[in-house]
Amino acid sequence: MSIVRWGLGLSLFLFASVAQARPSASQSLHDEMSVEVPMTPLSTLHYFGGKVIPHAEVVIVLWGSKVSSTVTGNMPSFFQTVTGSAYLDWLGEYDTDGVSAYDGKGSSNQHVYRGSYKSSVAITPTSSSTTVQDATIQSELAAKIGSSVLPTPTIDSEGGVDTVYFVFFPAGTTVYDDQGGASCSSWCGYHGTFSMTVNNQTASVPYAVIPDMATCSCGGSTTLAEYTITSSHELAEAITDAEVGVTYGVGRPLAFYDTNYGEIGDICENTQGYTDTIGGYTVQKNWSQRLGKCIAQDSSLPLCGSQRPCRACAASDCTTSTSPICDSQDGTCRACQSDAECNGKHCDTTGACVDAPPPPPSTDGGTTPPKGDGGSGTKPTSDSGASSSSPDDDGGSGDTNNGDWNKSGGCSQSPDLPSAPPWALALPIAFAFARRRRR
Ligand SMILES: [Zn+2]
């Protein structure tokens, strides 16, 4: 792969790419072409009011039966690892709850948590052509969702779509984005959005496109690393700019977008030392507006509780009697809610997991009440103490204003936030595809 061949593509992407990972060649070229990102929060990174992805739920879509075994053998584990890791914890700084949008209108009022890997599905595309247009990918995804070949997008309690479809292509297939740019020559990957009706409401469904990497040069020292670098870039950007595909302008419903550099992955791409390792996988760093630098993880985050962004709990973190459960949704230690959460023990009225079940109600006045043989000291108490330990799924709901974002990001001077707009009404009612945003 010659450097000359990539030079033009690189320079074009520096200024024209929004949602794409641009191709890159040797490390020396990376250095030469490095974007000089100031190591302070960018005054040009704004929150434009669109949705983020709270609990990214990755579905791998294999375009036909011949996608590389590098993908089928590794990417499920990669997504499972990364979505449940520190790679997503610090993206909580891109919560939109309490953040004023750049236009002064409503926020999507969401939080960014860890996610999950859902499944991998090989589809049989309607067309077997080796050239595939972006519009075809959107219609194929919608059709396969409609016929239940692919899982239906999950809409969470904050009203956003969690499911993101990562579409992988076989060797020999060239994908063209909506401006005619070809995979591996104009870009290494991109993410977009299409609109479809889910549960009787119009939803912005995010997806990402990853071509076969064996013949691409996308910054990794191995083919797997090229997949994981590109996929991590697109995942982080889809999470923080989920609706990029339903607008062409710089404005709503973009979420976090920098008017000079693009999305949070673009800001860091090809900068010095722009990759890191998460669970053994090479990933791309992304821009932290909070820290003013590119990071993949932040070991200084506090355990999730009252502060965000935060480190999601592990079971071993949740050891107090009143908060014995690690909530997989928001990463906080909380009270138990049912016996099923207590690993064979009983969830008492204080939200503690205790050794013995409560004494069964007496049905025979002549029978001696059962003696607790393991319950001494753990008897159910009255509800007088419950106020300090009641379950709280919302975690830090009372402290969700991301003040740091507004201060450092300079997005708005106004602390007064209008309530969230009815997003569904702002989008087309009928099933419709929207093209990926380009500038
Ligand atoms: Zn990007």
pLDDT (tens digit, 9 = 90+) per residue, 218-231?
A: 999 999 999 999 99
Distance CA 49, CA 206 (A): 16
pLDDT of residue 87: 98
Distance 158 CA to ligand 1 centre (A): 25
pLDDT of residue 247: 80
Q: Which residue has the tokens 């929207």?
A: 434
Count CB atoms within 10 A of the CB of residue 151.
15
Q: Is the pLDDT score of 199 beyond 70?
A: yes
Lowest mean pLDDT among 4-8, 404-408, 413-417, 424-428: 4-8
Distance CA 380, CA 302 (A): 32
Distance 234 CA to ligand 1 centre (A): 6
Distance CA 333, CA 113 (A): 14
Q: Is the pLDDT score of 427 beyond 60?
A: no
Residue 213 in contact with residue 167, Cβ under 8 Å? Answer: no
Angle value at C-alpha 338, between 383 and 301, nearest 5 degrees: 90
Distance 19 CA to ligand 1 centre (A): 4
pLDDT grade, residue 270 (50/70/90)?
confident
Distance CA 162, CA 169 (A): 23
pLDDT of residue 191: 97
pLDDT of residue 362: 65
Distance 21 CA to ligand 1 centre (A): 5
Distance CA 430, CA 200 (A): 10
Q: Is the pLDDT score of 377 beyond 90?
A: no
pLDDT tens digits for range 403-420 = 334 433 333 333 333 333
pLDDT tens digits for range 119-141 = 999 999 999 999 999 999 999 99
Distance CA 205, CA 116 (A): 16
Interval 196-211 mean pLDDT: 95
Higher pLDDT, 12 or 373: 373
Distance 61 CA to ligand 1 centre (A): 20
pLDDT of residue 271: 87
Backbone φ and ψ of 60, nearest 5°: -85, 130
Distance 310 CA to ligand 1 centre (A): 24
Angle value at C-alpha 149, between 147 and 153, nearest 5 degrees: 85
Closest by CA position to 115, among listed 84, 142, 145, 86: 84
Distance 226 CA to ligand 1 centre (A): 14
pLDDT grade, residue 7 (50/70/90)?
very low
Count CB atoms within 10 A of the CB of residue 270.
22
Distance 231 CA to ligand 1 centre (A): 10
pLDDT of residue 28: 28
Distance 183 CA to ligand 1 centre (A): 14
pLDDT tens digits for range 64-116 = 999 999 999 999 999 999 999 999 999 999 999 999 999 999 999 999 999 99
CA 285 from centroid of its chain's CA atoms? 14
Distance CA 431, CA 194 (A): 10
DSSP string, 22-34: PP---HHHHHHH-
pLDDT of residue 237: 98
Interval 284-300 mean pLDDT: 97
pLDDT of residue 356: 74
Distance 23 CA to ligand 1 centre (A): 11
pLDDT of residue 68: 98
Distance CA 394, CA 109 (A): 13
Distance 266 CA to ligand 1 centre (A): 4
Interval 164-188 mean pLDDT: 96
Q: Is the pLDDT score of 432 beyond 90?
A: no
DSSP run (H or E) holding 141: helix 134-146
Distance 153 CA to ligand 1 centre (A): 23
| Angle between helices 223-240 and 69-83 in degrees, nearest 10 | 40
pLDDT of residue 364: 56
Distance 204 CA to ligand 1 centre (A): 18
Q: What percent of the chain has pLDDT over 70?
A: 73
Q: Cis peptide leading into 253, omega within 30 of 0? A: yes
Q: Is the pLDDT score of 372 beyond 50?
A: no
Interval 134-151 mean pLDDT: 98
Range list of β-strands (E), 9-168: 20-21, 45-47, 57-63, 116-123, 131-133, 163-168
pLDDT grade, residue 45 (50/70/90)?
very high
Distance 24 CA to ligand 1 centre (A): 13
Distance 145 CA to ligand 1 centre (A): 25
Distance 412 CA to ligand 1 centre (A): 25
Looking at the chain, how many residues does it have? Answer: 439
Distance 190 CA to ligand 1 centre (A): 7
pLDDT of residue 88: 98
Distance CA 192, CA 263 (A): 12
Distance 51 CA to ligand 1 centre (A): 17
Q: Tell me, what DSSP letter sits at residue 256? A: E
Distance 7 CA to ligand 1 centre (A): 18
Distance 408 CA to ligand 1 centre (A): 22
Interval 355-366 mean pLDDT: 64
Lowest mean pLDDT among 136-150, 242-256, 356-370: 356-370
pLDDT of residue 248: 79
Distance 261 CA to ligand 1 centre (A): 10
Closest by CA position to 227, among listed 73, 121, 10: 73
pLDDT tens digits for range 393-402 = 333 333 333 3
Distance 27 CA to ligand 1 centre (A): 19
